[in-house]
Chain A
Amino acid sequence: MPNPEAYVGRPTSRVDGPAKVTGAARYAAEYFAPDLAYGVVVSSAIARGRITAIDTAAALAVPGVIHVFTHENRPRTAWLDYNYRDEVAPPGSPFRPLHGPEIQFSGQPVALVVAESFEAAGYAASLVKVEYEAAGHVTDLEVKRHEAYVPKKKRAGVKPPPEPRGDPEGAFGAAPVHVDGDYTHAIEHHNPMEPHASTVVWEGDGKLTIYDKVQGSQNSQKYVASVFGLNADDVRVVNAYVGGAFGSGLRPQYQLFLAVMAALELKRSVRVVLTRDQMFTFTHRPHALQTIRLGADEEGRLMSVRHDVVQSTSQFEDYQENIVNWSGLMYRCDNVALTHKLAQIDTYTPGDMRAPGATTGVFALEIAMDELAERVGIDPVELRLRNYAEKDQDENKEFTSKELRECYRIGAERFGWSRRNPAPRSMRDGRELVGWGMATGCWEAYFQKTSARARLAAGGELEIATASSDIGTGTYTILAQLAADDLGVPIERVAVRIGDSSLPASPIEGGSWTAASAGAAVQAACGAVREKLLGLARSIDGSPLANAGIEHVAFRDGRIELAGDPERFVTLADAMQAGGVEHVEAEETVSPDILTSMRYSMYTHSAIFAEVKVDEELGIIRVTRIVNAVAAGRILNPKTARSQVLGGIVMGVGMALEEESMLDHNLGRFMNHNFAEYHVPVNADIHDIDVIFVPEHDDKANPLGVKGLGEIGIVGTAAAIANAIYHATGKRIRALPITPDKLL
């Protein structure tokens, strides 16, 4: 019998809240060791070429400086690319810090200055003199577009475009209504508030404890062991608190390599923290040039969909994301062609940033759909209903669940969509034009192999352990809720241990899969503890549960009760005493069911409605209202779930209106590498946001029936805003961000 749900499904406040509001929560750069030294990175001034001379004499003369590492004196590390390839590395040759004189991107680390104090290291870093021989670089994707290629080696876990279906060209020619447009967005940098940092504590005898800003402690652990030839048991990586990441911490970043290298060589503890401008020297959302061609009949039914993309990558790795498949998935269409190519520019390798691929591709598709609705002369919601996909045509599979129709209905109703005058420039509020736009969102509901351990003590303390992470997502809290309900203990008695490579195996926290995966693993471990406890309870002489199976009992308030007859019970303490044990422990591993994944597709869906107000004379855009109706299966915690979607929407507002990493193609460098010039939404940019969770039952996607929420909030948001801007102004802007100059 399922246990009564005291916590799951309720808006439980974060269990890590007190630590975070008092400053007690410690992040990667906030651990200390008796002999801690400070490393500061020197970044390259050119985008491509080689170092011809590097002079560290002045830096070494600064009092307190211990050592300056460069490519000329770096310690030996592993030789093969294989050793540098982390859990989520794309195909290619991973970047190796200080490997040699070659420069592959602007801002590449060229030296690490280590000193007794941060101030001495920082000053000395400014004295390192580097001479370069620059080679020609190209950072403009448009220039490299003609060299675009289909990557030979596919990135693991990323679906390549499906084979074309039907006759897209013929159907496009025959279609009476066409949309044909080029779409693009700016390169974006993740910019979590916590800069990337690693504190490497030298424990002696080659043992290291590393506090790393990363989304997977075991990914960093394996990387460090493999690159530096260490025994994995001698490397413990801790990421108990992560100050945001949004994908920037999926792969170990170069500060980790540098800090470990210095600690091993100097045999002392070292901290390396990147500066905010250095946060613009590694992963980013890639640039993409998109073309969409839609053909439809006069009722708006799609006859042909074509979506072609050229996406930027580095010169050394083929980073790939799924940008185009959504265009074959989200709407019913029998004639579809989707292509995805890469072109290499001289930047660091791009990487996954919140809903990678979907954020990019769906923004273009959903603006194109808005254009189609206008051309056909029907409401944008009605257009989407007419083309509703009942199955996944990309893979010819049924959906495990899809309550998108309800998202449209409930979202439209809450927003007041029926009062919309479809004509552009038809609505006003004083001196501002008012626009209403909408879009669909979609993201995969992943489920990954994960292990967890549960340990219940006779005193009632329950410890949950898995190497999973909480990057602000609420992992600590949902795992505590699940465990408390499973074993019938108060949530205050549950200690959740995550963010430590020494705990049971877990993948990186990404893809919105952690709630489903770590959650199911915790539930499985708690289930095994329940079975063991019932066995002990039944073994008591004259046990009231002597004939009870696990389905006949409930765990509540520290007791195992007979369902329907709660007066017949055994306390957990008595059960353990009977068994002569002081605690009961179990570790379990959950994995996706192969047969289910072969038969079904699993996606989260949303319908987003946005209101903008535009000052016509100044071009200033305000997003005054957003309603996002999300169907994401079961909601474990409405409070933290809502926050996840809110966060995605806010980043979507940034993508639509503000965020733009500007490359100076002459220097090959991101020029606006700080928060004064790379604009992210601030408090005053954000107005009313209404998040609705549409009821959705899913008994196939994973054992918990949850679908993950970290990414769905951003998908479609930029399109809904761009469509609202069109409705307000009559100006169709297909290049993000939509800054005031584009409206004037």
Chain B
Amino acid sequence: MSPSQEASADAAGIPVTLTVNGTTHRLTVQPTAVLLDVLRERLQLTGTKKGCDHGQCGACTVILDGRRVNSCMVLAAMKDGSSVTTIEGLAEDGRLHPMQQAFIEHDAFQCGYCTPGQIMSAVALLEEGRANTVEEIREYMSGNLCRCGAYVNIVAAIQQVLATGRRSATP
């Protein structure tokens, strides 16, 4: 059974339509199902991680209708018609996003479990025009815990993308 064919998996649920990384899925979800579990268990998009299920660790960060959110705190049934970008949707045509590349170059992860959340937060922050100084990066990235302790390298990776972005914006 492919993920997109399972519309009738739960007859007692609520129908929702979600566009995830450009693909539209029609699903029936239980009222208590959170977006994180729908992504992981129903759509098998396991790049989005569950670290705490309480909105305390940031591992489940996705971009929902243009905003970064902890997907464990979002009821899927309330997001009918929404559009979601997950870590799987960040690379384009097999080419890594500059933030993904910078994370590799700066060794901004070890076990890799918090990494998708870190990258999604970092990408969203830069798009929002926040996190322009080291202090701001540290502060705004503090919602994404990394138990391996890669913070110094995470900051370096984000700084690199920030600097490259500025260079490319200069004619």
Contact residues of A with B, CB < 8 Å? 13-14, 16-27, 29-30, 32, 34, 38, 63, 117-120, 122-123, 191-195, 241-246, 273, 275-276, 471-474, 639-640, 642-644, 646-651, 674-676, 680-686, 688-689
Known A194-B51, A675-B54: A683·B142 in contact at CB below 8 Å: yes
- A674 — which chain B residues lie within 8 A by C-beta? 52, 54, 56
A284–chain B nearest beta-carbon distance, Å: 14
With most chain B CB atoms within 10 A of its CB, the pick from A19, A34, A675 is A675
A608 to B105, CA, bound (A): 26
Nearest CB in chain B to that of A24: its residue: B47
Please tell me if the beta carbons of B150 and A244 are within 8 angstroms of each other in the complex: no
B56 and A675 contact, CB distance less than 8 A? yes
CB-nearest residue of chain B to A27 = B113
Across the interface, do A14 and B107 meet the contact criterion of CB distance under 8 Å?
yes
CB distance from B48 to the nearest CB of A (A): 7
Q: Are A193 and B145 interface neighbours, CB within 8 A?
A: yes
CB distance from A659 to the nearest CB of B (A): 11
Given A119-B33, A244-B147, do A193 and B111 touch, yes or no (CB 8 Å)? yes
Q: Which residues of B contact A676 (CB under 8 A)?
A: 54, 56
What separation, in Å, do the CA atoms of A529 and B87 have in the docked complex? 40
Tell whether, in the assembled complex, residue B153 and residue A21 are in contact, meaning their CB atoms are under 8 Å apart.
Answer: no
Q: Look across to chain A and name the residue whose beta carbon is closest to the beta carbon of B3.
A: A32
Please tell me which one of the listed residues A648, A682, A688 contacts residue B142 in the complex, with CB atoms under 8 A apart: A682
Report 28 cross-chain contacts, Cβ distance below 8 Å, ordered by A residue.
A14-B107, A18-B100, A18-B104, A21-B100, A22-B90, A22-B91, A23-B46, A23-B48, A30-B40, A30-B46, A119-B33, A193-B111, A193-B147, A243-B112, A244-B111, A244-B147, A474-B110, A640-B107, A647-B150, A675-B52, A680-B145, A680-B147, A682-B142, A683-B146, A684-B141, A685-B142, A686-B138, A688-B152
Instruction: Say yes or no: A23 contacts B149, CB within 8 Å.
Output: no
Chain A residues within an 8 Å CB radius of B155: 683
Are B100 and A195 touching (Cβ within 8 A)?
A: no
Contact of A195 with B1 at beta-carbon distance under 8 Å, contacts A21-B96, A246-B147 already known: no
State whether the Cβ of B71 lies closer than 8 Å to any Cβ in chain A: no
**Chain A residue, CB-CB nearest to B40:** A30
What residues of A have a CB within 8 angstroms of the CB of B119 in the complex? 21
What 0/1 readout, one digit per residue, does chain B (152-163) give for beta carbons within 8 Å of chain A? 111100000000
13 other A-B residue contacts (CB within 8 Å) besides A194-B49, A276-B51, A681-B149: A17-B103, A21-B87, A22-B96, A118-B37, A193-B59, A193-B147, A472-B109, A646-B149, A674-B52, A676-B56, A681-B151, A683-B138, A686-B151
Contact B47 A22 (CB under 8 A): yes
> A22-B91, A27-B113, A119-B30 given as contacts; is B153 within 8 A of A643 (CB)?
yes
Partner of B51, one of A193, A246, A642, A643: A193
Known: A63-B12, A119-B30. A195 touches B112 (CB 8 A): no
Contact status of A23 and B86, CB under 8 A, knowing A243-B111, A276-B52: yes
**Could you say which residues of chain B place their CB within 8 Å of the CB of A640?**
107
Q: Determine the chain B residues whose CB is within 8 A of the CB of A21 once the complex forms.
A: 87, 96, 100-101, 103-104, 109, 112, 115-116, 119
User: Is B88 an interface residue, CB under 8 A from the partner?
Assistant: yes
Q: Which residues on B sit within 8 Å (CB–CB) of A23? A: 45-48, 86-88, 116
With an 8 Å Cβ cutoff, the count of chain B residues facing the other chain is 62
Residue B41 CB within 8 A of the other chain:
yes
Q: Which residues of A contact B168 (CB under 8 A)?
A: none
Docked Cα-Cα span, A473 to B112, in Å, equals 10
Assembled-state Cα–Cα distance A471/B96 (Å): 24
Pair A683/B154 contact, Cβ less than 8 Å: yes
User: Which residues of B18-77 are within 8 A (CB) of A?
Assistant: 30, 32-33, 37, 40-41, 44-54, 56-57, 59
Q: Does B148 reach chain A (CB closer than 8 Å)?
A: yes
Complex Cα gap A640–B108 (Å): 10
A76 to chain B, nearest CB (A): 31
Q: Is B128 an interface residue (CB 8 A)?
A: no
User: Which residues of chain B come closer than 8 Å to A193, judged between CB atoms?
Assistant: 49, 51, 57, 59, 111, 113-114, 145-148
Contact across chains for B112 and A241 when beta carbons are under 8 A apart: yes
Tell me the smallest distance from the CB of A718 to a CB of chain B, in Å: 14
Residues of B with C-beta under 8 A to A688: 152
B48 in contact with A244 (CB, 8 Å): no
Please name all residues of chain A whose beta carbon is closer than 8 Å to the beta carbon of B112 when the two chains form the complex: 16, 19-21, 25, 241, 243, 472
Instruction: Report chain B residues within 8 Å CB of A643.
Output: 107, 110, 148, 150, 153
Q: Which of A191, A642, A644 contacts B147 (CB 8 A)?
A: A191
Would you list the 4 A-B pairs with minimal beta carbon distance, nearest first?
A: A23-B47, A650-B149, A243-B113, A472-B111
- Chain A: CB-nearest residue to B42: A117
When distances are taken between beta carbons in the complex, the residues of chain A under 8 Å from B153 are: 643, 646
With most chain A CB atoms within 10 A of its CB, the pick from B101, B110, B114, B141 is: B110
**How long is the Cα–Cα vector from A191 to B113 in the complex, in angstroms?**
12
The one of B57, B111, B138 that contacts A675, using a Cβ cutoff of 8 Å: B57
